[in-house]
Structure 1
């Protein structure tokens, strides 16, 4: 049986409806409906649309995700009727946080809406992160000190761009750059301005049309301890930034 036929059987069982009732509601015969449910025939697009509206579930979920594994009440709706995030829990009832490894960062752009891709990711659970959907992304480069390569930034999913807070840090998933971790500065009608904490990098704009997902910083997980040299450099950096701010204030007077 296909994923779709299994889902049709599962959803009908949850409602405790007979095949005849579903068929009547879809305006087809029971025999035709039975073929779709047992997998001997595939429904045309107009029937898929009716099923989607009937159960209020997007078509991509109906045909691509085993719905028997998830609670529909614990799924988060996404804009544009995209795949929803199933908020899964471990045996202790804690949220499962998917981990996007370094090697899978570029693949995430192709797989973020593929339930099969997400299901294959490793997960962790953190008891202090609840009430939302969380995902962990690897930090890279030197634009956001003190996070070094190998650090994982855990983000909480943000549903609307209007929820962004000035000077807070976020993981932005974009069509062109992929996964970037930046500080949000401001929003215009077409863009958002972001900046790095490393002063060597200039702020820049991201087009709203290129934004795929936004994840607000929740916590970080270091996979290596800080070295003494690193801490010393951070102190020097803080002194440099403080001096730079004082010079800027003098120039404005």
Structure 2
């Protein structure tokens, strides 16, 4: 059961699904019993121009999209990518700046479910993260000790973030604003170019984040703020590995690697 939706903006304005957008603005206007004349006046355009948007014969520019979204107090993402007739509009959680929707599912007792993005469906997440039907189709678990907030589970790959390894699940809490992230903490970043990555925030810059692996073998790198679709802060992990960490061996390997790195740098300086 979907009870409400959280918002976070990521929309491709280069290609607008006109039929869906047109249907949505027509349905909203009819539901609220607003005339085309009144709506056009509120948008500061002519009725003839507005009719073309509603008929799907003309694309609405970005400024008009913003005005329509603010007029109805819903996100631009909803207008462009979701059939709003399938969403209980009264249950929408209103956040600032009309940002993107993520469904929250709850059990019969009203406890939040945690959707788990398994390895099998991971590839489809970038296309489905804003689709209520896709999110509802994911596997669900419940971890009551996590407390308030929207949580989701993501699979771990590789050896860049020990002790987490392939097969583990990182449960993250949804971060609404980029400014809420903190240096030194770990996050699941959903990005346009890198996809889904789990990293430690090394530095929060003005228009980018520097992220790093806990495994020093992998270099830190920068992620542009404009490339980020979602951020989930680490809350807990689910794994099957109960091996005792071999601290001395790990330290020894690290020392060897650092020594090799220093030798390479010395050779570069000499040449």
TM-score normalised by the chain length of structure 1 = 0.69
Cα distance in structure 2, aligned partners of 1:104 and 1:179? 12
Deviation at 1:8, TM superposition (A): 4.0
Alignment pair present for 1:93 and 2:110: yes
Correspondent of 1:236 among 234, 243, 248: 248
What is the DSSP-based 3-state SS (H/G/I as helix, E as strand, rest coil) of the residue aligned with 1:110? helix
2:155 aligned partner: 138
- In 1, are the aligned partners of 2:183 and 2:204 still within 8 Å (CA)? no
2:78 aligned partner: 61
Any stretches of 5+ residues in structure 2 without a counterpart?
A: 1-19, 42-54, 260-271
2:191 aligned partner: 174
Alignment pair present for 1:205 and 2:222: yes
- In 2, are the aligned partners of 1:192 and 1:205 still within 8 Å (CA)? yes
Alignment pair present for 1:216 and 2:233: yes
**Aligned pairs (5 A) from 1:24-39:** 26=39
How big is each residue's C-alpha offset from its partner over 1:213-246, in whole Å with a ceiling of 9 and x where there is no partner? 1110011112x242xxx4243x3356448979xx
How big is each residue's C-alpha offset from its partner over 1:181-216, in whole Å with a ceiling of 9 and x where there is no partner? 001011223321111111211222212222221110
Correspondent of 2:203 among 186, 203, 221: 186
Deviation at 1:109, TM superposition (A): 1.6
Distance 1:82 1:113, change over 3 A: farther
2:93 aligned partner: 75
Cα distance in structure 2, aligned partners of 1:181 and 1:141? 10
TM-score normalised by the chain length of structure 2 = 0.65
- In 1, are the aligned partners of 2:209 and 2:222 still within 8 Å (CA)? yes
**Aligned pairs (5 A) from 1:157-172:** 157-172=174-189
Distance 1:66 1:96, change over 3 A: farther
Alignment pair present for 1:123 and 2:140: yes
What is the DSSP-based 3-state SS (H/G/I as helix, E as strand, rest coil) of the residue aligned with 1:236? helix
| Structure with larger RCO (C-alpha < 8 A, sep 6+) | 2
What is the DSSP-based 3-state SS (H/G/I as helix, E as strand, rest coil) of the residue aligned with 1:128? helix
What is the DSSP-based 3-state SS (H/G/I as helix, E as strand, rest coil) of the residue aligned with 2:105? coil
Deviation at 1:117, TM superposition (A): 2.3
- In 2, are the aligned partners of 1:166 and 1:184 still within 8 Å (CA)? yes
Cα distance in structure 2, aligned partners of 1:241 and 1:72? 57
Greater displacement, 93-102 / 136-145: 93-102
Deviation at 1:43, TM superposition (A): 9.8
Distance 1:76 1:202, change over 3 A: farther
